[in-house]
Structure 1
Amino acid sequence: MKFETLAIHGGEEITGPHKPVVQPITLSTTFEHHEGSLIYSRANNPNRMALEKLLAELEMGKAAAAFSSGNAAGMAVFQALPLGSHIVAPSDMYHGLKKQLVELFKDRLEVTFTDLSDPENLEKALQPNTELLWIETPSNPMLKISDIKVLSSMAKDNDVRVVCDNTFATPVFQNPLKLGADLVMHSATKYFGGHSDVLGGALVTKEVDDFWQEVVNVQQTGGAVLSPFDCYMLIRSIKTLAYRMKGHAEHAGQIASFLDQHEKVERVFYPGLTGHPNHGVAKSQMTGFGGILSFLVKGNPDDADKLISNLKYYTNATSLGGVESLIERRAAVEGPDTKTPQNLIRVSVGLEHLDDLLEDLDQGLQTIS
Structure 2
Amino acid sequence: MNLDNKYKKNTLLIHGGQVGNNPEKALNPPIFQTSTFVFDSIEDVAKVMNFESDDYVYTRGNNPTLRLFENKMAVLEEGVGSVAFASGMAAVSSVLFSLLKPGDEVIGNSTLYGSTYNVIKNLLPQYGVKSKLIDLTNLELLENSISENTKVIYFETPSNPNLNIIDIKGVCEIAKEKNIKVVVDNTFATPYFQRPLLLGADVVVHSATKYISGHGDVVGGVAIAKKLDYVHKLKFDYMCEFGGVMSPFNAWLLLRGLKTLGVRMREHEKNALLLAKYLEKHPKVKNVYYPGLPSFKGHNIAKSQMEGFGGIIAFEVEGGLEAAKKVVNGVKLMKLAVSLGDCETLIELPAAMTHLGYPTEKLKEFGLTESMIRISVGLEDIEDIIEDIENALR
TM-score with structure 1 setting the length: 0.96
Task: Identify which of 82, 95, 102 aligns with 1:83.
Answer: 102
Distance 2:93 2:349 in 1: 26
Which residues of 2 match residues 38-49 of structure 1 at below 5 A?
38-49=56-67
Q: Of the candidates 270, 283, 295, which is equivalent to residue 303 of structure 2?
A: 283
Contact 1:13 1:23 in 2 (8 A): no
Alignment of 1:111-126 (within 5 A): 111-126=131-146
| 1:20 pairs with 2:38 | no
1:96 to 107, 115, 120: 115
Q: Shift of the alpha carbon at 1:11?
A: 5.2
Kindly provide the amino acid, as one letter, of the partner of residue 195 in structure 2. Answer: N
1:246 equivalent in alignment to 2:266:
yes
Within 5 Å, which residues of 2 pair with 1:207-246? 207-209=227-229, 211-216=230-235, 217-246=237-266
Distance 2:270 2:345 in 1: 14
Equivalent position to 1:67, from 65, 77, 85: 85
How much has 1:191 moved relative to structure 2?
0.3
Which among 190, 195, 199 is matched to residue 215 of structure 2?
195
Q: Alpha-carbon deviation of 1:176? A: 0.3
Deviates further, 23-32 or 330-339: 330-339
**Alignment identity in percent?**
41
More helix per residue: 2
CA separation in 1, counterparts of 2:22 and 2:207? 32
- Measure how far apart 1:212 and its partner are: 3.6
The SS at the match of 1:98 is helix
Within the candidate set 379, 389, 394, 1:351 is matched to 379
Aligned to 1:311: 331
1:128 matched to 2:148? The reply is: yes
1:54 and 2:58 correspond: no
* TM value normalised by structure 2: 0.90
> Unaligned 5+ residue runs, structure 1?
none
Cα deviations across residues 42-98 of structure 1 (Å, max 9, x unaligned)? 110110000000000000000000000000001111211222210010001111111
Contact 2:271 2:379 in 1 (8 A): yes
Q: Check conservation: 1:294, 1:347, Cα contact below 8 A.
A: yes
Alpha-carbon deviations, 1:5-59, whole Å to 9, x = none? 1111125567676211111111111111144321111110110000000000000
Distance 1:171 1:10 in 2: 13
Inter-partner Cα distance in structure 1 for 2:20 and 2:66:
13
- Tell me the secondary structure at the aligned position of residue 319 of structure 1: coil
1:135 offset after TM fit, Å? 2.1
Q: 1:66–1:201: 8 Å Cα contact kept in structure 2?
A: yes
- Equivalent residue in structure 2 for 1:180, among 183, 197, 200: 200
Counterparts of 1:351 and 1:5, CA distance in 2: 22
Deviation, 1:100, is: 1.2
Aligned to 1:342: 370
Paired residue secondary structure (2:24):
coil
**Structure 1 residues 231 and 16, CA, compared in 2 at 3 Å: closer, same or farther?**
closer
Correspondences of 1:255-266 after superposition (within 5 Å): 255-266=275-286
Mapped contact 1:14–1:22 kept (Cα < 8 A): no
In 2, Cα distance between equivalents of 1:16 and 1:328: 41
Q: How many Å separate the matches in 2 of 1:183 and 1:255?
A: 33
Distance across 2 between alignment mates of 1:240 and 1:168: 16
1:290-338 deviation per Cα after TM superposition (whole angstroms, max 9, x unaligned): 0001001111211111111111111000010000000011111133614
Task: Give 2:114's aligned amino acid.
Answer: H
Pairwise CA RMSD: 1.4
| Structure 1 counterpart of 2:393, one-letter code | L
CA–CA distance in structure 2, aligned partners of residues 14 and 320 of structure 1: 34
Return the alpha-carbon distance in structure 2 between the equivalents of residues 304 and 205 of structure 1: 40
Aligned length in residues:
365
Rounded Cα–Cα distance in structure 2 between residues aligned with 1:16 and 1:33: 21
- Alpha-carbon displacement from aligned partner over 1:199-245 (angstroms, at most 9, x marks no partner): 00000001223x44332220122210100000000000000001100
Contact kept in structure 2, 1:69 and 1:187, CA below 8 Å: yes
What is aligned with 2:47?
A: none
Inter-partner Cα distance in structure 2 for 1:279 and 1:15: 43
- Contact 2:73/2:82 (8 A) holds in 1: yes
Question: Aligned pair in 2 of structure 1 residues 250, 219: CA closer, same or farther (>3 Å)?
Answer: same
- Structure 2 gaps of 5+ residues are 1-6, 45-52
Corresponding residue number in structure 1 for 2:186 = 166
